[in-house]
Structure 1
């Protein structure tokens, strides 16, 4: 639902009831991931999408029925039909389950506060019960970045604590996902399926080396939603004028800056300096940190020499195995812009465990299912 938070925020602040249709399960080549939503208000205004166009009309009509009839939440499944050309289905061949429910902001005021957080750029998670006891279906609970919990009565204290814990964990990881809760004596006697929608702070891309490649990489990194920092020990090169697309430009020794800044499992570290006096202390630190990606620019000869220097510096083999060098996928890139695309392509493939090969070379579903842990 957070994909349409701006509009939902406006409706909630105006105490404007609406029907919310949420993708709660996907299989095959369904075009949009779980958590994506479409909403319909009493005037017939629609915002968002659940399938990229395939089944929007049917979901819109179902939303109007739920909204106007004040019906309980209901689930519908949509899939491909080759027997009836006019059947409502997904032409991509996948299947998706959609939960449609009526939202009255007066009954769930915490949603307004959650959308306040989203529109202000602050992290928040909204947990939505998508399967379980009928009286709890569609109920929500929100967790803010500081760990505060606000709920719409998702059940007893044990349920709320369990749901809040899972929502907080996924928020810290910056992931939207479906989790199963309960079914045992330690949490709650009945099993709940909960979809946790997260709006996390932007992941970081740390680019070391104020070179031309860094300019192109900072631009595409910001386009992809990263908070981009360019760092170089040489103040004459590390200037905001040279890197207008970076959120931060820092003149400092790379390893010293990395040691003092915040990183997490979503952070991408890109080393473009080509200089051992910068690279070795930086990589010795970076490869031991819980970051998501470490890539280093250089030729294969430079990479081999760099490995020797890192081994001499005491970096263990399991850390060296984390290093992507030479950086990027083999796209035949030459220009800084093409090289930047090859780098973010590798980061994307690594993040989502993609192969990096052309889709035309493979079989099976195009879209990978994401599961929460």
Structure 2
């Protein structure tokens, strides 16, 4: 996602107006989540996607019009019985898309947004998507960039700015994006401008311990899934950047020392994935003991049934409670039938996704109902339609 914002910023810096389309709400089996963007350059080039191809043509035309007249437009696309393939979503869902012109005058805060993205600082972009007579100065396309202790830009009204910033910061703590309607009484108002809050958190981390061929294949899968990938091993002869071109970081260190140091520096969080591929108890046991004591999204370890049993016994002997041990995925991955490094990496990535989304993994052709589960609303406000 950062690559798309970098592309937009390059056009912005060059003084080249372009069209920006953003998915601000979804209903049903929509192909992309809120926050998906598509950039339409003046030369006709398109970067990004908002629907996987269903409505991009119609949105491109709207973007060209927005660039020409400077007016932001909120459009809804869903299934049309007669021409679903033309300007509807054949998947059966509905999306709302905000289309706006982006240049230095219409979006002066873009530079501030990019500075936070580049420094991996959680930041929220709040954009007015629908006006309301209660605050007529808050027009569609007005932006407010919010982070922990600051903000830049404006919705058009200082009172609304304060309310929006408070909502944005609460959503940032939950790593959720969504639309909210804010009125004179605050959130959950029946009237007031509709605002889309896009929470742009740094990418989650995947920490791979063990510098072998399986680690190289898993690093590639992690990068494809949007993780910031670190490969760590205590053996310098195997732990080189040349062997792991898909990793963002290659570190020579004892695995458990590296993990504990990352935790102490607050560089990991509840989205972090840890996978041990070392096959060596002197590395595995202290690493897994430390990892299972932390609030992580996933902890997995490769090994045969025999080595897994020995590992569990050693962790019990080290005093790890049964509840913590139950969080260990070992043998690592789903039973997809593969055995080589590439196939094993796919099975591990599949298990991570399965647990992330709370699914059970049957073949889609053997199931019924919506393909995409609706995201749970943000806890603080039932008026927010959010994405995880």
TM range (shorter): 0.7 to 0.9
State the number of aligned residues. 369
Task: Please give the TM-score of this superposition, normalised by the length of structure 1.
Answer: 0.84
| Pairs within 5 Å for 1:1-80 | 4-40=4-40, 46-71=46-71, 73-80=72-79
Distance 1:126 1:306 in 2: 46
SS of structure 2 residue aligned to 1:225? coil
Q: In the alignment, which residue of structure 2 is the partner of 1:358? A: 363
Q: In the alignment, which residue of structure 2 is the partner of 1:205? A: 206
SS of structure 2 residue aligned to 1:109? coil
Task: Give how far 1:314 is off.
Answer: 2.2
Distance 1:164 1:247 in 2: 32
Q: In the alignment, which residue of structure 2 is the partner of 1:224? A: 225
Distance 2:41 2:239 in 1: 50
Q: In the alignment, which residue of structure 1 is the partner of 2:153? A: 151
More divergent stretch after superposition (286-295 vs 198-207): 198-207
CA offsets 1:65-119 (integer angstroms, 9 cap, x no match): 4443444x43222122233577531222221122233445314311233245547
**Does residue 291 of structure 2 align to residue 286 of structure 1?**
yes
- On the 8 A contact 1:3/1:48 being kept in 2, the answer is no
Q: In the alignment, which residue of structure 1 is the partner of 2:322? A: 317
Q: In the alignment, which residue of structure 2 is the partner of 1:139? A: 142
Distance 1:26 1:83 in 2: 21
- On the 8 A contact 2:154/2:161 being kept in 1, the answer is no
Task: Name the CA shift for 1:14/1:371 in 2 (closer, same or farther; >3 Å).
Answer: farther
Task: Name the CA shift for 1:45/1:362 in 2 (closer, same or farther; >3 Å).
Answer: same
Q: In the alignment, which residue of structure 1 is the partner of 2:112? A: 113
- On the 8 A contact 2:182/2:195 being kept in 1, the answer is no
Distance 1:46 1:254 in 2: 43
Task: Give how far 1:272 is off.
Answer: 1.7
More divergent stretch after superposition (18-27 vs 121-130): 121-130
Task: Give how far 1:195 is off.
Answer: 2.4
Distance 1:290 1:218 in 2: 22
Unaligned runs of 5+ in 2: 379-388
Distance 1:248 1:42 in 2: 37
Q: In the alignment, which residue of structure 2 is the partner of 1:129? A: 128
More divergent stretch after superposition (8-17 vs 324-333): 8-17
Task: Give how far 1:142 is off.
Answer: 1.2
More divergent stretch after superposition (117-126 vs 325-334): 117-126
Task: Name the CA shift for 1:186/1:366 in 2 (closer, same or farther; >3 Å).
Answer: closer
CA offsets 1:203-228 (integer angstroms, 9 cap, x no match): 22111223332222223323433222
Task: Give how far 1:39 is off.
Answer: 4.3
- For residue 344 of structure 1, the aligned residue among 331, 349, 353 is 349
| Pairs within 5 Å for 1:176-325 | 177-180=177-180, 182=182, 185=185, 193-261=194-262, 262-325=267-330
Task: Name the CA shift for 1:314/1:163 in 2 (closer, same or farther; >3 Å).
Answer: farther
C-alpha RMSD of matched pairs (Å): 3.2
SS of structure 2 residue aligned to 1:150? strand
